[in-house]
Amino acid sequence: MKRIGIIAKTDKPQAVDVSRELISWLKSKDREPVIDETLGRLLGIPGGCSREEVASKSDMLLVLGGDGTLLAAARLAWATGIPILGVNLGSLGFLTEITIGELYPAMEKVLKGEYETEERVMLSARIIREGKEIAKYTVLNDVFVSRGSTARIIDLETKINGDYVTTYKADGLIMSTPTGSTAYSLSAGGPIIYPSLHAFALTPICPHTLTQRPIIVSDDSVITISILSKEDILITHDGIAGPALHYGDIVEVKKADAVIHLIKSPYRNYYEVLRTKLKWGER
């Protein structure tokens, strides 16, 4: 790996300071750092490129921030296939498994080729209005449809592979990947899915009928949601708000053609991350 792209949470001073040290360290290892214009301006380094170009010009991405920063990096890197190493500048993250104290030992291993990657499936979601596609997204965590400012529950007719499942009467519905199962879906009572499993979770948000529980489906499923309410309804993809949905709109969700490759932590496994983040075993 010759060219190392750096994606940093630039509104966090620590990320800028770590980036400065990291750039010097990479140069001492005869590696070429690739940074975007915003980070370059904060570091007083002229030049730089767009964040999209950072991904396309690099052999790997090194993410400095938290899980949100890594989600942003995933949107840049999924088309390139390059591996991503996530470094959390605060507490341990589900996606950013490397702590700041482990950064340089982990990078030594990566530069020597002593690392493993884990493939993470992504979702492809599109909005269909009157038979025409009006928006399309590729996401790592989740897509959810939810009520907006209205206080009323909404009706979401849901089918899987064309088979009618149910019409959810709820505040919304979350469709998550295994990676996203520890995000909003978990908060809404959804299951934790091991990251390498080929499955998606459908988790209703505050369903009117308590027997409407989360379900897990194969990731070769095609999920379609028809909007049957005229209330204010929103779609959100990896935390980013999309356009308002209208009565009769259809949201189609399925496995994306792309995947991302996360560099695994050499210091802890997934279950240790779960125990630490979710404070399992504590009294």
157 and 242 within one domain: yes
The one-letter amino acid at 167: T
CATH value at residue 36: 3.40.50.10330
**Closest Cα partner for 211 from 168, 249, 160?**
168
- How far is it, in rounded angstroms, from Cα 54 to Cα 90? 24
* Cβ proximity of 180 and 256 under 8 Å: no
Are the C-beta atoms of 182 and 130 separated by less than 8 Å?
A: no
| Per annotation, catalytic residue among 17, 30, 67, 142 | 67
> Is there a domain that residue 283 lies in?
no
Q: Do 106 and 265 touch, CB atoms closer than 8 A?
A: yes
Q: For residue 213, what pLDDT is reported?
A: 94
d(CA 246, CA 240): 18
Domain co-membership, 76 together with 105: yes
Residue 67 is a catalytic residue: yes
The series of mean pLDDT values per 10 residues for the chain, 283 residues long, is 94 94 96 95 89 94 94 90 93 87 95 95 96 96 90 94 96 97 96 96 94 95 96 92 95 95 93 91 81
State how beta strands 3-8 and 60-65 pair: parallel
pLDDT of residue 269: 92
What does the pLDDT read at residue 251? 98
Which residues constitute the domain of residue 171? 122-258
CATH of the domain at 185: 2.60.200.30
49 plus 169 within the same structural domain: no
Look at the chain and report how many structural domains it folds into. 2
What is the rounded CA–CA span in Å between residue 212 and residue 200? 17
In this structure, the answer to whether residues 148 and 75 fall within a common structural domain is: no
Residue 92 confidence (pLDDT): 75
Nearest alpha-carbon partner for 229 in 208, 215, 254 = 208
Same domain? For 160 and 239 the reply is yes
